[in-house]
Amino acid sequence: MAERIEADVAVVGAGIAGLVAARELVTAGKEVVVLEARDRVGGRVLNHTLSDGTVVELGGQWIGPTQLRMAKLTAELGLETFPTYNTGEHLLRLRDKPIRYRTRPSLGPLVLADIGQAQARFDRLARHVPLEVPWAADRARQLDAQTFETWIQRNARTGSGREMLRLFAEGVFAAEASDFSLLHALFYTHSGGGVDALAGTAGGAQQDRFVGGSQVVPLRLAEQLGDRVRLGAPVRRIEQRTSGATVHADGVDVAAGRVIVAVPPTLAGRIAYDPPLPARRDQLTQRVPAGSVIKSHAVYDRPFWRHAGLTGQATGDRGPAKVVFDNSPPDGTPGVLLAFLEGAAARQLNRVRPAERRAAVIGSLVEFFGPQAADPVEYAELDWSEEEWTRGCYGAHFPTGVWTQYGPVLRAPVGRLHWAGAETATVWSGYMDGAVQSGERAAAEVVTAAA
């Protein structure tokens, strides 16, 4: 028989969103139980320890200057950050040999003008999408009836300009520009403060890193919550009655007044609900797939690229690894290159043997950084689409038609059920900062409802 616990609130999922919600509720004097499917906390945030003890991140990892909720949480938890390595020149490779650059790559005046006007137009459009109600944007239906790829083809005139926009799509959404709607691209970009804020290192979303790896955030939160967090307890069914709700997980049932479901919308749709969810909410969960990303680390005795005057940041349209960062520890030893396989590249390389995938990633690194990249001393990767309790990263993208037809039910509570998770955020949607916002918002809903 399953153990039975009573609580004021049951939280489903011990990612940052669920843990922050629980923390807020505890502060408000509520009895809380957090049910986590895995044997660890953190969700899409996960440390990995290399053989020499160096910690790297296999999931979300950066914090940027406008991510104020994460900054506040970091301070409150007594955690430290340090700057992502950013000294020297970046690499960009469009078809040809890599070129080095500091602020703007020398792609020729025509291409630079093309990129400049397309980005300006896109950022301007994005600023006009209201973050609380993207479906109420001017011409929302039209923006939502086309893919971001269609917009790129219409608004960038040069091949290189188009490639740069596609790289933005892959790097930021872990999906192809053809996978999601223009309205989604605009909402998400506005939510993070614009193209440069999303794509940037210094001054942008990739500016800083956590000492000890980003999973210190959920680990510290869970530590404070103590035995309120139950690991190894995947939630299978949630019953709502007039008197309360019961959350059935493997091995434990929680009777609670309210429930916060803090998992990605697709996974929320796989829980059985009694009574069944309203149609529109159910159909939403059918329509917001997770992106596709394999995050890889190649470890070298030293960060040889630094000595060559390179930041370690590289972007290229050939792939399969199209986006690379220096992910070495604060003291720079060992040297770690972090390579992303995203969208179609992740889907293709999901199917090959690990050795072949590793060779493909190392091949990309050699093309960017030369033969010194050919022999890493260690290699570590994670394909998030293989993770049963995530099933894709970084987060959900909204295909055409979804924001306008289903957006209003994304956060709307259903009786005693409340929805959290980075996908439900209005500021820094899809990021750790958005997860914090969503947890705080869901906790506030519960406190208000119970008052």
Q: Give the binding range for a copy of itself (CB under 8 A) out of 155-163, 195-203, 288-296, 309-317.
A: 288-296
- Of the pair 183, 299, the CB lying nearest a copy of itself is at 183
Candidates 437, 443, 414; CA nearest to 424 is 437
Q: How far apart are CA 132 and CA 408, in angstroms?
A: 9
One of 141, 241, 302, 307 touching a copy of itself (CB under 8 A): 141
One of 27, 286, 301, 354 touching a copy of itself (CB under 8 A): 286
Candidates 180, 94, 165; CA nearest to 403 is 180
Q: Where in 73-132 is the site for a copy of itself (CB under 8 A)?
A: none
One of 43, 161, 289, 319 touching a copy of itself (CB under 8 A): 289
Q: Residue 1 class from Cβ within 10 Å (0-12 exposed, 13-18 middle, 19+ buried)? A: exposed
Check binding of 415 to a copy of itself (CB under 8 A): no
Q: Give the binding range for a copy of itself (CB under 8 A) out of 55-63, 117-125, 352-360, 399-407.
A: 399-407
Q: Give the binding range for a copy of itself (CB under 8 A) out of 46-54, 94-102, 173-181, 311-319.
A: 173-181
* Count of positions on this chain that bind a copy of itself (CB under 8 A): 43
Q: Where in 146-165 is the site for a copy of itself (CB under 8 A)?
A: 146-147, 149-150
Q: Are 16 and 275 in contact (CB under 8 A)?
A: no
Q: Which residues on neighbouring strands pair with residue 90, listed in sequence order?
A: 101
One of 38, 90, 287, 322 touching a copy of itself (CB under 8 A): 287
Question: Helix, strand or coil for residue 116?
Answer: helix
Radius of gyration of the chain measured on its C-alpha atoms: 22
Q: Give the binding range for a copy of itself (CB under 8 A) out of 83-91, 175-183, 333-341, 370-378.
A: 175-183
Q: How far apart are CA 304 and CA 408, in angstroms?
A: 50
Tell the smallest beta-carbon distance from residue 406 to a copy of itself (Å): 8
Both tokens assigned to 262: 């803090």
Long-range contacts of 344-353 (CB under 8 A, 24+ apart): 344/176, 344/292, 345/170, 345/319, 345/320, 345/321, 346/174, 346/292, 346/293, 346/294, 346/383, 346/385, 347/292, 347/385, 348/320, 349/294, 349/320, 350/292, 350/294, 350/383, 350/385, 350/386
Q: Where in 216-255 is the site for a copy of itself (CB under 8 A)?
A: 236
- Of the pair 171, 399, the CB lying nearest a copy of itself is at 399
Q: Are 287 and 265 in contact (CB under 8 A)?
A: no
- Of the pair 121, 141, the CB lying nearest a copy of itself is at 141
One of 97, 276, 371, 451 touching a copy of itself (CB under 8 A): 276
Long-range contacts of 76-79 (CB under 8 A, 24+ apart): 77/216, 77/217, 77/220, 77/221, 78/220, 79/210, 79/211, 79/212, 79/216, 79/217, 79/220
Per the rule left: phi > 0, alpha: psi between -120 and 50, beta: everything else, 442 is alpha
One of 86, 224, 283, 333 touching a copy of itself (CB under 8 A): 283
Check binding of 280 to a copy of itself (CB under 8 A): yes
x/- binding map, residues 339-368, to a copy of itself, per CB under 8 A? -----x--x--xx-----------------
Tell the smallest beta-carbon distance from residue 422 to a copy of itself (Å): 16
One of 31, 123, 239, 282 touching a copy of itself (CB under 8 A): 282
Binding site for a copy of itself (CB under 8 A): 141, 144-147, 149-150, 175-179, 236, 266, 269-270, 272, 276, 279-280, 282-283, 286-290, 292, 344, 347, 350-351, 383, 385-386, 388, 391-392, 399-401, 405-406
